[in-house]
Structure 1
Amino acid sequence: MRPRLHDRVAAARAQREALARTRVRRSVTRRDGVRFEVDGHWLTGFCSNDYLGLAQQFAVVNAMQDAAARDGAGGVASHLVCGHHATHDALERELAEWLGMPRALLFGNGYMANLAVVQAFLGDDDVCVQDRLNHASLIDAARVSGCKLRRYPHLDPEGALRQLRSVPDGAAMLATDGVFSMDGDVAPIRELAVIARVQHALFYVDDAHGVGVLGPEGRGTVAAARLGVDAAPLQLVTLGKALGSYGAAVVGDADLIAHLEEVARPYIYTTALPPAQAAASLAAVKIARREQWRREKLITSISRFRSGAAKRGFEVLPSHSPIQPLLCGDEAHALAFAQALEAQGFWVSAIRPPTVPEGKSRLRITLSALHSPQEIDALLDALAWARDAIGHGFGADAEPIAAHA
């Protein structure tokens, strides 16, 4: 007898509840920089991806308002029908120039862009080799394309080489996150680029969390590795993280970008970003390029957090990006610490499986150029208080304790 979907849904929900993996959506009433009003209380947020503090920057907001007043609220059609606007052109040119790439192509978001890239270049007889901790969108992209998906151990170039050698026929792509969203560490870009070249594989870097933050002028992990379009022909740039806006772009080799524009289904069959949103992103890119002080302050804040955590006896993962994870062990412990921090006025996300591996639930602390030294120190003190109150340490060897959530 065919199972009822409602029964399957109920069973899945019960399993998530038993494992402390249910998700609760919180509604923000107001936002002021790194401060969020939630459920009638103001919290200092250490969980957003607004690394450079541009989401509410006055020039970015003014650009959106002016463009909306002039061009309206919607994208009205796909890019290839009548939705492509002069503002989209300007944003693509600005991104390409900033990152030193021949061309850029806008997408609605990073998930769609990753689906587009893998689907446009790989098919049933091909292979996509990926880091085991790549973002879910890259994994899904390989599955949707129908290609063979091969994964190598995290940050292991030799593992990537072995996987590429194991599938000799068909086209190949080597895809990696630039900065890994849950660990905050950086891929070995130079080594992977060499492997891709030797194995005749297309090298693709999802630099969602790197562009704007790392490298010269914030140009990301590829620029930090001193590589260009020949070594890394395609890169993903998201507009909704360090740039504080919304959307994404793929930048790189002009011929490859032209191919994407003509065949990528997530580009062809969806409405274009509203011109007002593109105008906001354009303003944000210009600010990110010229205001180096935002990256300098962010670097100082990362150093302050890491040194302060070490002084208080916390073992943080080896990340020098704005993503600073503290491992808690199982799901219940991560939730307990997040709730204890909220009671002290801080909003920090508890990240649990399947987003991270079993036994690696964590607090994902993210820093912004808007955080003050006093706010960082106050968070560290709150973390120490929570650890003492709950009676549990952090670190790679964190052991489970009784559930508090």
Structure 2
Amino acid sequence: MNPLERLRAATAERETAGLRRRLRPRTADHDGLIDLASNDYLGLSRDPRLIEAAVEATREYGTGSTGSRLVTGTTRLHQALDERLASFVGAPAGLTFSSGYLANLGAVAALSGPGSLVVSDQVNHASIVDACRLSRARIAITPHRDTAAVEAALAERTEEHAVVVTDAVFSVDGDLAPLAEMHRVARRHGAFLIIDEAHALGVVGEGGRGAAAAAGIAGEPDVVLTLTLSKSLASQGGAVLGAPEVVETMIDTARSFIFDTGLNPAAVGTALAALEIIENSPELPARARANARRIAKLAESHGLESRVPDAAVVPVFLGEPLTALRAAEKCLELGLRVGCFRPPSVPAGRACLRITARASLSETELTGLDLGLRSVGDPTAP
């Protein structure tokens, strides 16, 4: 078969199954749609203070970082962000990467490697899955949030070194990992616990300091945090936070840090400004969580399967990909932009709408969502 014919055939199969994905460019105002799909949890992406911080950083340092952080890509802003991120979540030290994806690749691979065991939750984010594959360690996949299975995997290992890795808030279901218990298990067996705070930073815990801080384990020497700057901080980039020895190991051995161009100055300046706003506006995380709970109740009131969220992610489970795709299109017709998650992002039979709450959602926007969810729950509704 011609190579392109093979690709065309595979694309046609995905189209039939409702698994085709398309790029949908948006305008500055989301085409006038109510945004319930982005990860802008605190509604800061258009905040003038963040925009000005990005402009100021660009004026001072230019449009790009000009090289890897080990060459020319580290500025005083990068160093300030390393320190501020660590201080904010209660970790001893930090290191900024150019994306959260690369932070996970770096942390998991650098702290494990051949001859190690990595224990990973079965619904961890794709970046963690890929990090496990690249680590060349033996991988044990455990059932979702099952600490007994994690303990069994660690107890049965023959490897000297082990790492347990989990999302703090899982990116589709929106539920919280049992971090305090997982830490106790990891410590009993001499393992690092790596926690991806991507969907928890800025939303979970007092003042949005994250799930590890809420669980009281953020500063522990055997706890490593990864995170992204692209959600609550309305910027772009990622970070690894932990003991100074962990950061030193990242600098020396994490390939996704050493061989990658540093985060551009505008993104660094934006993240610093966002952190300052969050520190001075502790009501924002609580508002995002409250709006998420309200969205889940709206979905359930229309007979839709959802769950009470632990952060800002609200799933509405619809089953099959085509059903979820039609529901998302219906929402679009009603002026709502929602996420539509289908395999492989979710298991077969669990296709869903993924609705994200923002701290800045208005009553008018929530009323519009209520009408959209009513239409999804009852297609005959006017």
Q: Which whole-Å CA distance do the structure 1 matches of 2:268 and 2:19 have between them?
A: 36
Q: What is the match of residue 42 of structure 2?
A: 52
Distance in 2 between residues matched to 1:4 and 1:137, nearest whole Å: 32
**Aligned-pair distance for 1:268?**
0.6
Matched-pair contact (CA < 8 Å) for 2:34–2:336: yes
More deviation in 309-318 or 293-302? 309-318
Which is further off, 300-309 or 288-297? 300-309
C-alpha distance in 2 between matches for 1:361 and 1:96: 36
2 CA distance for matches of 1:303 and 1:360? 20
Q: Deviations over 1:315-366 (max 9, x none)?
A: 3124231111010010010011111111111111211000000010000010
Deviation at 1:24, TM superposition (A): 1.0
Please identify, of 300-309 and 189-198, the stretch whose mean Cα deviation from structure 2 is larger.
300-309
Aligned to 1:395: none
What does residue range 336-355 of structure 1 map to in structure 2 within 5 Å? 336-355=326-345
Does the CA-based 8 Å contact 1:328-1:360 persist in structure 2? yes
The Cα of 1:307 is off from its aligned counterpart by 3.0
Match for 2:263: what amino acid? L
Written as runs of structure 1 = structure 2, the 5 A alignment for 1:339-378 is 339-378=329-368
- Please report how far the alpha carbon of residue 305 of structure 1 lies from its aligned counterpart in structure 2 after TM superposition: 2.0
Report what 1:172 is aligned to.
162
Q: Pairwise mapping of residues 374-393 of structure 1 onto structure 2 (< 5 A)? A: 374-389=364-379
Moved more, 307-316 or 242-251: 307-316
Give the whole-Å Cα distance in 1 for the aligned partners of 2:372 and 2:127.
Answer: 34
- The 8 Å contact of residues 221 and 243 in structure 2, kept in 1 or not, is answered as no
The alignment's C-alpha RMSD in Å is 1.5
Q: Which moved more, 1:94-103 or 1:303-312?
A: 303-312
Match for residue 125 of structure 2?
A: 135
Q: In 2, Cα distance between the equivalents of 1:390 and 1:162?
A: 50
SS of the residue corresponding to residue 279 of structure 1 reads helix
Deviations 1:253-291 (A, max 9, x none): 111111111111111111111122211111011111221
1:5 equivalenced with 2:14 (yes/no): no
Shift, 1:8, TM fit: 3.2
Q: Deviations over 1:40-96 (max 9, x none)?
A: xx2111000000111111111101111112211001011111111001011111111
What is the 5 A alignment of 1:96-111?
96-111=86-101
Give the counterpart letter for 1:19 in structure 2.
A
Q: Give the stretch that moved more between structures: 175-184 or 312-321.
A: 312-321
Q: 2:239 aligns with which of 209, 231, 249?
A: 249
Distance 2:259 2:82 in 1: 19
Q: 2:64 aligns with which of 64, 67, 74?
A: 74
1:63 match: 53
**CA distance in 2: counterparts of 1:166 and 1:243, whole angstroms:** 40
Tell me if the contact between 2:118 and 2:162 (Cα under 8 Å) persists in the aligned partners.
yes
Q: Is the aligned partner of 1:123 residue 2:121?
A: no
Contact 2:119 2:164 in 1 (8 A): yes
Match of 1:268 among 245, 258, 265: 258
Determine the C-alpha separation between the residues in 2 that align with 1:61 and 1:377: 30
TM-score normalised per structure 1: 0.91
Q: Which runs of 4+ in 1 moved over 4 A?
A: none
Match in the other structure for 1:209: 199
Deviation at 1:390, TM superposition (A): 6.1
- 2:72 is paired with a residue whose SS is helix
Count of aligned residue pairs for this structure pair: 381
Residue from 137, 141, 144 that aligns with 1:147? 137
Partner SS state of residue 94, structure 2: strand
Distance apart, 1:231 and its partner CA: 6.1
Q: Tell me, in whole angstroms, the C-alpha distance in 2 between the residues paired with 1:265 and 1:333.
A: 41
Counterpart among 271, 282, 285 of residue 295 in structure 1: 285
Q: Deviations over 1:292-333 (max 9, x none)?
A: 121232233123223333333333124231111010010010
- Match status 1:114 vs 2:109: no
Kept in 2: contact 1:301–1:373 (CA 8 A): no
Taking every aligned residue pair, what percent have the same amino acid on both sides?
Answer: 34
> Is the contact made by 1:222 and 1:232 (CA closer than 8 Å) also made in structure 2?
no
Deviation at residue 12 of structure 1 after TM alignment: 2.0
Letter in 2 for 1:142: C
Aligned to 2:378, the other structure's residue is in SS state helix
In structure 2, what is the equivalent of residue 282 of structure 1?
272
2:179 is matched with 189
Structure 1 position 385, deviation (Å): 2.0
CA-CA distance at 1:4 after TM superposition: 4.8
- Structure 2: 5+ residue stretches without partners: none
- Whole-angstrom CA distance in 1 between matches of 2:380 and 2:139: 42
Shift of the 387–194 alpha-carbon distance from structure 1 to 2, 3 Å rule, reads: same
> What's the secondary structure of 1:155's corresponding residue?
coil
CA distance in 1, matches of 2:380, 2:115: 53
Which consecutive unaligned segments of at least 5 residues does structure 1 have?
A: 392-405
Q: Post-superposition shift, 1:389?
A: 1.8
Measure, in 1, the Cα distance between the counterparts of 2:374 and 2:228.
34
TM-score normalized with structure 2 length: 0.96
Residues in 1 aligned to 2:100 and 2:294: alpha-carbon distance in whole angstroms: 31
Indicate conservation of the 8 Å contact 1:184/1:320, yes or no. Answer: yes
